[in-house]
Structure 1
Amino acid sequence: MSVPTDTITHILAQALELLRQGRFAHARAMLEGCPPSPRTELLLAHAHAGCNRVQEAARLLCRQAVANPGARHPAQDMLDLLLPHDRADEAEAVLRAVRQRAGQDIRTHDMLGELLLQRGHTAEAQAVLADGLALSPAQLSTGNLMAVCLMEQGEFAAGRDLLRYILQHHPDSAMTHANLAHLLGAWNHNDEALQAHGRALALRPEDARLRLNHALTLLKTGRMERGWAEYEWRRRLPGRQRLPEARMLPVLAPDADLRGKTILITREGGLGDMLMMLRFVPVLAAMGARISVQAPDTLHGLIRRMPGVRRVVGERNMLPAHDWHCPFLSLPHVLHRTKGCDGLPVPYLQADPARVRQWAPFLPVGTGLRVGLVWGGASRPDAPAAFAMDRRRSLPLRRLAPLAGIAGISLVSLQMGTYTKQMHDMPAGMRLYDPMESVHDMDDTAALIAGLDVVVSVDTSVAHLAGAMGCPVLLLDRFDNCWRWLSERTDSPWYPTLRIIRQISAGQWDNVVHRLCSMLARRDLPPSRLPPRV
């Protein structure tokens, strides 16, 4: 007995919804009873993949790919369904089987290589992509992915040469020009990077993503006014602009009078971004504005103590009434013509005195140097770009073993997150005070920092917090540094008490740790701007 077409359509729609919800076994049970069709077979392949039925999924996906050689490979849809539900292992297994069955299809090398790259298996990704380039040396997508692999491993010259070769065959590929610009910027060849950005933008001048990457290179090279203006293109990215554009705070005149106006500063970026931008909030208040700030709960205590802030709300709260709104990272742009364009001087954030007293017993006693320590950032395996960056900015605690040999210092952990597990295998001779289990928010962390002599940190929000408080900071920085720390500098215009110890070559921390130990042993620290200890 035949099943009515509308019934089949309804079943397939239900099965797709189950797949989107991550209910792969339920979808498979529903689809296995359906009459065979290309659509049914495709959805069943995705369901098999989510159930770890690797060979069944690979067989059906390959059959669909052969039937539609000019279309997007069906395994890409599988990735879109599996990865949001933490099924990367299953997805990788299926891609390996697909590649084994159809190794002459270069798309299979691209998909597996990109997934391996996202998961941090860079060397294996490079080998997979090399097989793809052997099939087609000038393949656009494969070449660009291989260049990213090479850059991840610090092989900048090889990545540049590959992208230039790809451009000989695809001179109008804006993506390749943009990737070349990104690689050159990471390599600190900034003038060449800006030229490559220019070529990408000549091809796609309205591409917000390309304009954003151009802005970051301008900022990294210290071209601040132009960089902040270009950075406004980020607000055109999908999903970025949620509030009415008509009420976006405009660029303010030098004599701007904001009396009677309420301005809502909206959350944007990570904690470090917001901590860095908070210096500008009192400038608006000094112009007469009433300030409300939307921010993560962990920052509320710090922000409430800032001059001019009337109200602080969380991300889930209803937004307060306002005349203008402005995201945190637009503040330098809207203020660049005013006297307050540099923001409040450091220290513009202060610890709560009551909390400082509360946390004092958790810190080591004696006359030695109290050194706060952060060796890892926020690892985000669900966000490939952030995950890759964190692998480069963080270092294993064991690499800091030489700190144990410095006389007269006490190490205090300010580390949060997954990297705290490394304290279970402490380097020989290292003693690390760890009060962080009882820390609830950044206000607690600020109280601990107020009792320290120096903070040693990789590029994380703690470095920004300590710098904003005027605590001496020694920043352990990766070779392809963030734009916030500029190029070829050991100081920071944002934080006068911060010094940068940057990798000389990509991925190499030994020289950084050697210089750090030398500075701590000699007590070669920036002058503190912290208030005297009580």
Structure 2
Amino acid sequence: MLQRAGLALRMQQFVEAERLAAEVLKASRTNAAAISILAQALIAQRRGEEAIAPLEKAVRRGDDPGLETLLAGALSEAGRAEEAVERLRRTTERRPPFLPAFQELAGQLAMAARIAEAIAVIDGAIGLAPGVVELRLDMSRLHLYGNDRRKARAVLTEAREIAPGRSDVYTALGRLLFLDGEYQAATDTFRHALALNPDDAMTRADLAACLFEMGERTAAEACLRLAYGGRNHMLGRTSRALVGTSRGRFFLRPSALTKFLQSKPA
């Protein structure tokens, strides 16, 4: 049942995950894994206040930084932001470091528009774990929130050198190059990302936008059709690539857009 609860959580079936985790806790009230799943499901449903009590009990019973971090998330969801931040600051003082606590703290500070503090938190985490690429991706996003593209690019360039096989690093760097109008460099970067991960439809849509800006309409439209691939959830992203570029297309009806994406090129 615990495995089913975890699977439901990963599938974003939060009501089912909550139900199954609650069933496990009826038989074993101190099951930390079930408490974690229950709390995550409640927070995802914007019911963080309900997760606070079981998490506080679990935290008092044991020494689990993961549950402490979840408790901070529940406190924040319940509107107790400062209490959440203080708890996370204490968790980040643990050694060995628990990196998700740094990421959660930086995220909460960023949501409160405390970007400089959030950057300092992630900078400290990078100092403790310089090889963790996810931290550099977090740092690049924070610099973008602060409208400092130069620093964001520098961080992503470092991340690319550390992890040349990570397609998400190339995708993030390509999007930054696109924002700066460096379409050829962005195109090359997106193509490298797709060589590493050919099934990434979002990156393929980004590549199509670059090709449109460079005037390569035929290649862009072919790329966009591949990105769409009959997947309805990609309709919004592909339509933005068409409408949001200077050499794209505009459709008055969604049905006309869908027909265009499904058609074969002349």
Structure-2-length-normalised TM-score: 0.66
Q: 1 CA distance for matches of 2:172 and 2:61?
A: 30
Which one-letter code corresponds to 1:97 in the other structure? R
2:29 aligns with 35
Select the structure of larger CA radius of gyration: 1
Structure with the larger RCO, 1 or 2 (CA within 8 Å, 6+ apart): 1
Counterpart of 1:207?
A: 200
Q: How far apart in 1 are the matches of 2:251 and 2:131?
A: 44
- Tell me how far apart the structure 1 counterparts of residues 25 and 92 of structure 2 sit (CA, whole Å): 25
Q: 1:276 aligns with which of 231, 244, 250?
A: 250
In structure 1, how many angstroms separate the alpha carbons of the residues matched to 2:178 and 2:112? 23
2:260 to 321, 327, 331: 331
Task: Report the identity percentage.
Answer: 17
Q: How does 1:176-191 map to 2 (within 5 A)?
A: 176-191=169-184
Label 1:203 to 1:21 Cα distance change in 2 as closer, same or farther (>3 A).
closer
- Report the residue type matching 2:251 in the other structure: M
Q: Distance in 2 between matches of 1:78 and 1:232?
A: 43
Q: Specify the SS of the correspondent of 2:178.
A: helix
Q: Residue deviations 1:178-226, cap 9 Å, x none?
A: 1111111112222221221122122112222221222222223332221
Q: How far 1:132 sits from its partner (Å)? A: 1.6
Q: Structure 2: where are the runs of 5+ without partners? A: none
Instruction: Sort the Cα spacing of 1:166 and 1:238 in 2 relative to 1 into closer, same or farther, 3 A.
Output: same
Deviations 1:107-139 (A, max 9, x none): 211233245546765444323222222222342
- Structural mapping, 1:69-218, within 5 Å: 87=77, 89=79, 94=84, 97-103=87-93, 104-114=97-107, 116-117=109-110, 122-218=115-211
Partner Cα separation in structure 1 for residue 169 and residue 229 of structure 2? 22
- CA shift, 1:52, in A, is 7.1
Partner of 2:56: 56
CA distance in 1, matches of 2:62, 2:230: 34
How large is the RMSD of aligned CA atoms in angstroms?
A: 4.7
Question: Mapping of 1:52-451 within 5 angstroms?
Answer: 53=52, 56=56, 59=59, 63-65=63-65, 87=77, 89=79, 94=84, 97-103=87-93, 104-114=97-107, 116-117=109-110, 122-236=115-229, 240=233, 276-278=250-252, 328=257, 331=260, 334=263, 337=266
Give the alignment's TM-score, normalised by structure 1.
Answer: 0.36
1:26-46 CA-to-partner distances (Å, cap 9, x unmatched) read x99x95895322334325655
Structure 1: distance between partners of 2:131 and 2:14: 36
Greater helix fraction, Structure 1 or Structure 2? 2
Query: CA separation of 1:125/1:200 partners in 2, compared to 1, >3 Å: closer, same or farther?
Result: same
Given that 2:144 and 2:152 are in contact with CA atoms closer than 8 Å, whether structure 1 keeps it comes out as yes
Could you tell me whether the CA contact under 8 Å between 2:65 and 2:91 is conserved in 1? no
Instruction: Show CA shifts across 1:365-424 (max 9, x none).
Output: xxxxxxxxxxxxxxxxxxxxxxxxxxxxxxxxxxxxxxxxxxxxxxxxxxxxxxxxxxxx
Cα displacement string for residues 328-367 of structure 1 (whole angstroms, at most 9, x for unaligned residues): 2663784864xxxxxxxxxxxxxxxxxxxxxxxxxxxxxx
Residues 178 and 210 of structure 2 are in contact (CA less than 8 Å); yes or no, is this contact kept in structure 1?
yes
Note the C-alpha offset of 1:58. 8.5
Q: Could you report, residue by residue, the CA deviation over 1:290-343 in whole angstroms, capped at 9, with x for unpaired residues?
A: xxx66xxxxxxxxxxxxxxxxxxxxxxxxxxxxxxx562663784864xxxxxx
Instruction: Name the CA shift for 1:215/1:98 in 2 (closer, same or farther; >3 Å).
Output: same
Question: How far apart, in 2, do the equivalents of 1:276 and 1:146 lie?
Answer: 36
Aligned to 1:394: none
Shift of 1:100: 2.2
Alpha-carbon deviation of 1:94?
4.2
Letter of the 1:108 counterpart:
A
Distance in 2, matches of 1:40 and 1:20, equals 13
User: Unaligned 5+ residue runs, structure 1?
Assistant: 1-8, 67-72, 243-265, 279-292, 295-325, 338-534
Q: Which has the higher strand share?
A: 1
Structure 2 counterpart of 1:217, one-letter code: C
Is the alpha carbon distance of 1:162 and 1:45 closer, same or farther for their aligned partners in structure 2, counting shifts above 3 Å?
same
Q: Is the 8 A contact 1:116 1:124 kept in 2?
A: yes
Structure 1 pair 170–21 and aligned structure 2 pair: CA distance change class (3 A): same
Change (3 A) 1:118 1:205: farther
- Paired residues, number: 240
> Do the aligned residues in 1 keep the contact of 2:194 with 2:203 (CA within 8 Å)?
yes
Distance 1:186 1:332, change over 3 A: same
- Give the Cα–Cα distance (whole angstroms) in 1 for the partners of residues 229 and 70 of structure 2: 26
Counterpart-to-counterpart distance in 2, 1:221 and 1:133: 37
Cα 1:154/1:105, change in 2 over 3 Å: same
Question: CA separation of 1:123/1:39 partners in 2, compared to 1, >3 Å: closer, same or farther?
Answer: same
Post-superposition Cα deviations, 1:218-259, rounded to whole Å, max 9, x if no partner, equal 2233322211221223324976279xxxxxxxxxxxxxxxxx
